[in-house]
Structure 1
Amino acid sequence: MNKTIRQEIFERFRAANPHPTTELNFSSPFELLIAVLLSAQATDVGVNKATAKLFPVANTPQALLDLGLEGVMEYTKTIGLYKTKSKHIIETCQILLNRHQGEVPENREALEALPGVGRKTANVVLNTAFGWPVMAVDTHIFRVSNRTKIAPGKDVREVEDKLMRFIPKEFLMDAHHWLILHGRYTCKALKPQCERCLINDLCEYKGKTV
């Protein structure tokens, strides 16, 4: 794996999907933050089903606080770990109102200070809501980076740092989405779909099925 190969990989991703974005449904930075908080160890499809009912009723910090914890849980109970996530949502809304005038801060440190928000969640919000060229490494990106050897690493932070260093700058804004979608639909955990992979000839995975 080298600079030339990485350039070709991301040129192919861009040609196939010029304007990638998250599969979570949202219409504001706050809605995205809530959706990402709910998405840990859950599917985007499951989160979208819940937020499709929740957001028309409450899609601001004050509106969610007005619902109360029990009210929020009525909408999130179909999602794994919903009790903890709902508690984090209520606490987050309170902090946003108390410290940030009800707005989602465009600041990593402030985001990571919110309950349930770690580096990955902060990076998703900074990238998708605010257009920062950052990398939110989830299980899909971790797997794809190591399998293909685009940016192998022993933990998510090492992979994130390598991706930021190795991916050509022109692709950094969208690379997060391309890699997630590639891991979700092609380079799957149990059975990678190598026969229909658009970077098959550039990938260094030893277990390739083609």
Structure 2
Amino acid sequence: MNKDIRTEIFRRLKADNPNPETELNYSTPFELLIAVILSAQATDKGVNKATDKLYPVANTPEAIFSLGLDTLKEYIKTIGLFNSKAANIIKTCQILIEQHNSEVPQDRTALEALPGVGRKTANVVLNTAFGIPVMAVDTHIFRVSNRTKIATGKNVVEVEKRLVRLIPKEYLLDAHHWLILLGRYTCTARKPKCGACLIEDLCEFKDKTEYSD
């Protein structure tokens, strides 16, 4: 895929959705951090259902740490892996309080040092909370990037680095959201809805479907 085609892909995605946003509910960088930790192997809808009850009660490192492990588990028990996630969140809150003045750091290394925070989670926070043009590659973005040939790679880090290098700079900040939404609703895992896709004619996927709305 050449630069002109990639540019046209993202031009169309921007024209269709000029201001894409995460589907996780949050109002502060800390709320986003906790939501993204909870979202591993869970749906955004499921996470929102839990945090909509949790955040009115506790939405700062001090408040969640004060809840304690058992009470936090009660709020997030509908989410998969809630036991380990609760433990990680309590430890993360303690580190934020003790080492970062209760603020979410704007640094990938510092973020990845927090329990439950890997490279993808760190990139989501950097991109969405702080407006830093990085790519958080989840299963949707990995699939879409390889399937369309926007950026191919054998693992998420390969795809991430190629996307950062190949996506035109003026589109990089919002590219994460556009590609996730494309993968979540159109370029789906089992059977992509090619006939309903606004970049079907630019995509290099060979086995296109005839699906249309």
TM-score by length of 2: 0.98
1:166 aligns with 2:166: yes
2-structure distance, mates of 1:190, 1:78: 26
SS in 2 for 1:120: helix
Please list the CA deviations of residues 146-204 of structure 1 after superposition, one character each: whole Å capped at 9, or x if unmatched: 00000010000000000001000000000000000000000000111111000000001
Equivalent residue number for residue 187 of structure 1: 187
Give the C-alpha shift of residue 206 in structure 1.
1.3
Aligned to 2:85: 85
Equivalent runs, 1:1-210 vs 2, <5 Å: 1-210=1-210
Q: CA RMSD in A?
A: 0.5
Q: 1:71 offset after TM fit, Å?
A: 0.5
Distance 2:61 2:10 in 1: 38
Distance 2:58 2:190 in 1: 38
Q: Percent identity?
A: 72
**1:64 Cα deviation from its structure 2 partner:** 0.5
Within 1, Cα distance between the matches of 2:41 and 2:116?
A: 13
The 1-side partners of 2:65 and 2:197 are apart by 45
Q: What does the per-residue CA deviation read over 1:76-98, in whole Å, with 9 as the maximum and x for residues that have no partner? A: 00000000000000000000000
Deviation at 1:52, TM superposition (A): 0.2
Instruction: Give the Cα separation in 1 of the matches to 2:190 and 2:142.
Output: 14
* TM-superposed deviation, 1:45: 0.2
> Where do 5+ consecutive residues of structure 2 fail to align?
none
How many angstroms apart in 2 are the aligned matches of 1:89 and 1:33? 10
Q: Is the 8 A contact 2:191 2:209 kept in 1?
A: no
Alpha-carbon separation, structure 2, partners of 1:18 and 1:196 = 19
Runs of 4+ with >4 A deviation: none
Question: When the two structures are aligned, how many residues end up with a matched partner?
Answer: 210
CA distance in 1, matches of 2:208, 2:2: 19
Structure 1-normalised TM-score?
0.99
For structure 1, the residue ranges without an aligned partner over 5 or more in a row are none
Provide the rounded CA distance (Å) in 1 between the counterparts of 2:47 and 2:206.
34
Query: 1:7, 1:62 → 2: CA distance?
Result: 45
Amino acid at match of 1:50: A
Offset of residue 207 of structure 1: 1.4
